[in-house]
Chain A
Amino acid sequence: ILNVEQSPQSLHVQEGDSTNFTCSFPSSNFYALHWYRWETAKSPEALFVMTLNGDEKKKGRISATLNTKEGYSYLYIKGSQPEDSATYLCAFLNSGYALNFGKGTSLLVTP
């Protein structure tokens, strides 16, 4: 079992605030880092798959960065909206076949 740590565990922000979360993972044998958004009563939805050190990806107001040498990834949400409320999961891939998930960061955005 590989240790994937996410922080903070939960976050409560006001609409319009920008926020960011951290995902820490082992820096050895790196294949890929995945980010998912998981809304209540729905299935996890893929946000990003990142594979190269220094990668930066963006999808609307959400972006992510990757540092494989030090073993961390940041997820940023600019101008949070209530519909961004969800649990954000990161998952580390080290063998090309199985994802190791963190416990997630639970985000609540209130109007």
Chain B
Amino acid sequence: GAVVSQHPSWVICKSGTSVKIECRSLDFQATTMFWYRQFPKQSLMLMATSNEGSKATYEQGVEKDKFLINHASLTLSTLTVTSAHPEDSSFYICSAPNGRGHRQPQHFGDGTRLSIL
């Protein structure tokens, strides 16, 4: 089946550090990938839609200069949390549909737990 690989799984770093998270579709091409964030006891919240070869679309309230997204190929999207601060500590997870249209299920990575000290 379709597989999405996300890494790293865990990141612990100092405040002010930039952190890059990678999301790869291993056996299918993904022109679109989605980045979600989940705070404790909350639902997965869409942060941005990553589009291959064009700019990402950010949800309201998500700073595009803070959360840089690059989708340079059909199998890789990256999310860089720039100058991370403790309030950016969260669980980040990516997903991609294998195909187009709203009938396609999302294939998720395993997620990245980010802790900023």
Chain A residues packing against B (C-beta within 8 Å): 1, 4, 31-32, 34, 36, 41-46, 49, 51, 89, 91, 93, 96-104
Contact = CB atoms under 8 A, between A and B. Distances in A.
Given A96-B102, A98-B49, A44 B108 contact: yes
A46 B107 contact: yes
A98 B46 contact: yes
B104 interface: yes
Contact of A32 (B4, B102, B107, B111): B102
Q: Give the interface centre of A36, A44, A93, A96 by most chain B CB atoms within 10 Å.
A: A44
22 contacts: A1-B45, A4-B43, A31-B102, A32-B103, A34-B105, A36-B106, A36-B108, A43-B4, A43-B93, A43-B107, A43-B108, A43-B109, A43-B111, A44-B93, A46-B105, A46-B107, A49-B104, A51-B103, A93-B102, A99-B34, A101-B43, A103-B42
Contact of A101 (B6, B44, B104, B111): B44
4 nearest A-B residue pairs (beta carbon): A46-B105, A43-B108, A101-B44, A31-B102
B71 to A, nearest CB: 15
A41 B113 CA distance: 11
A99 B49 CA distance: 11
B42 A99 contact: no
Q: Which of A1, A4, A46, A49 lies at the interface centre, i.e. has the most chain B CB atoms within 10 A of its CB?
A: A46
B110 interface: yes
B106 A34 contact: yes
A4 B106 CA distance: 18
Nearest to A103: B43
Contacts of A45: 108
A89 B105 CA distance: 13
Contacts of A51: 102-103
B106 A102 contact: no
Contacts of B41: 103
A104 B46 CA distance: 15
A43 B110 contact: yes
